[in-house]
Structure 1
Amino acid sequence: MTPATERRLLQAVAALACLVPLTVGGESVLRGVVYLKGAPIPVPPDLDSHFRYVSGIFLGLGFGFAYAIPAIERRTAIFRMLGLMVVLGGLARLLSLVEVGVPSNGHLFGLCMELGVVPMLMLWQTRVARISGLGSGPLR
């Protein structure tokens, strides 16, 4: 596979993965905690406020990854920072699984994305940057 082909493939996979935070984050911001199965009714205002805040951060992660895609081989620093944030969120979700119990399938999917797919994308992006001759480059 040529470096250009590998870059394009990474861009396509990253764009597909980016749809998760953009759609789930956006829907969660708009709908609030009632978006979750089993949400308490009435919704405590503090819970809804925190849920929408965290959902806004999740949505912002999606926009950040989307920003990195067109020049993915040059945006290593931002890709790594966003990826680290996702992995930290996944570790927090894993802690919840251990302490509280197994969540629904949608949350298990998120856990797989956070601790599996995103770290693999980070490694792949590093490879694409390296074969493009750019290394880790500056934050752009």
Structure 2
Amino acid sequence: MKSKTEIYALQIILAIMGSISLTMGVSGIWMGPNNMNKVTVPIRLDNHYRYLSGFVLGFGLTMWFYIIPRISQAVIIVRIFAFMVFMGGLARVVGLFKLGIMPDTFTLIAIIAELFFTPILCYWQARIAQRKDQ
């Protein structure tokens, strides 16, 4: 793939991911855990869910306003974000094993994306950054 085409392709994928993060973050803050289902949860769980939704919103904002425009220079922050997302995927897997349940379709797709797709994107961005340094 040509360098500019490859950069644009990665930026488009990151823009989609950033948009998903923005949407999930805002809806998680606004609606809380009831965003996912209509059960009542303890106040502490609701509070923690909204707090973590703030991180997801911040992730999306950082993606849109820092990483995408500086895709060739944002190596460290992309690696940090990729590590955080990967660890989140591992946490999901641990939870599934501890609860002894099979994941639903949404959770399975999320786990695959977090554990496999995210490292590929991190590698792709590092290749683009390395080419810019040469």
User: Is 1:108 the equivalent of 2:116?
Assistant: no
Whether the 8 Å contact between 1:3 and 1:128 is mirrored in structure 2 is: yes
Q: Does 1:70 align with 2:69?
A: yes
* 5+ residue gaps, structure 1: 135-140
Amino acid at match of 2:85: V
In structure 2, the CA distance between the partners of 1:113 and 1:105, relative to structure 1 (3 Å rule), is same
Q: Distance in 1 between matches of 2:16 and 2:81?
A: 16
Aligned to 2:90: 91
**Identical counterparts, % of pairs:** 35
Report SS of the residue matched to 2:133: coil
- In 2, Cα distance between equivalents of 1:111 and 1:119: 12
**Please, what TM-score do these two structures have when normalized by structure 1?**
0.86
Does 2:24 align with 1:24?
yes
Equivalent residue pairs, number:
132
* Residue correspondence of structure 1 range 1-140 to structure 2 within 5 A: 1-37=1-37, 40-41=39-40, 43-66=41-64, 67-100=66-99, 101-133=101-133
Name whichever structure is richer in helix by fraction. Answer: 2
Q: Which amino acid aligns with 1:62?
A: G
TM-score of the aligned structures, taking structure 2 as reference length = 0.89
Structure-2 change in CA distance of 1:102 and 1:21 (3 Å): farther
Distance 1:15 1:95 in 2: 29
Gaps of 5+ in 2: none
Deviations 1:49-93 (A, max 9, x none): 011111111121122222200110111011111111111111111
State the Cα RMSD in Å: 1.5
- Return the letter of the residue paired with 1:92: A
